[in-house]
């Protein structure tokens, strides 16, 4: 028999992923699985600089 996660357990991590995705403008959301279960959700946010920003402008 395979272990099927409880519906509320699945809803829990799915909601966390939804929140992290909706909070990002640029970045990534990573789902970590251990022994068939989602154990961790990580997000990394990127900050995009304007294309016209040159190194000299950034030093000011």
44 near 28, Cβ under 8 Å?
yes
- The domains of the chain are located at 18-46
In the chain, beta strands by DSSP E: 27-34, 37-45
Rounded to the nearest integer, the mean pLDDT of the chain is: 83
Q: What is the mean pLDDT of residues 16-20?
A: 96
Higher confidence at residue 4 or residue 21? Answer: 21
Query: 48 vs 14, which has greater pLDDT?
Result: 14
Per-residue model confidence (pLDDT) at position 1: 44
Output the pLDDT for position 32: 96
Between the alpha carbon of residue 39 and those of residues 9, 47, 48, the distances in Å are: 11, 27, 30
CA distance readout (Å), 30 to 27, 42, 59, 60: 10, 5, 33, 35
């Amino acid at each position: 028999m395979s272990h099927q996660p409880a519906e509320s357990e699945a809803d829990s991590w799915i909601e966390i992923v939804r929140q992290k995705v909706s909070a990002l403008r640029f970045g990534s959301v990573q789902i970590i699985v251990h022994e068939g279960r989602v154990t961790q959700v990580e997000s990394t946010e990127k900050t995009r600089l304007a294309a016209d920003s040159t190194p000299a402008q950034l030093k000011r």
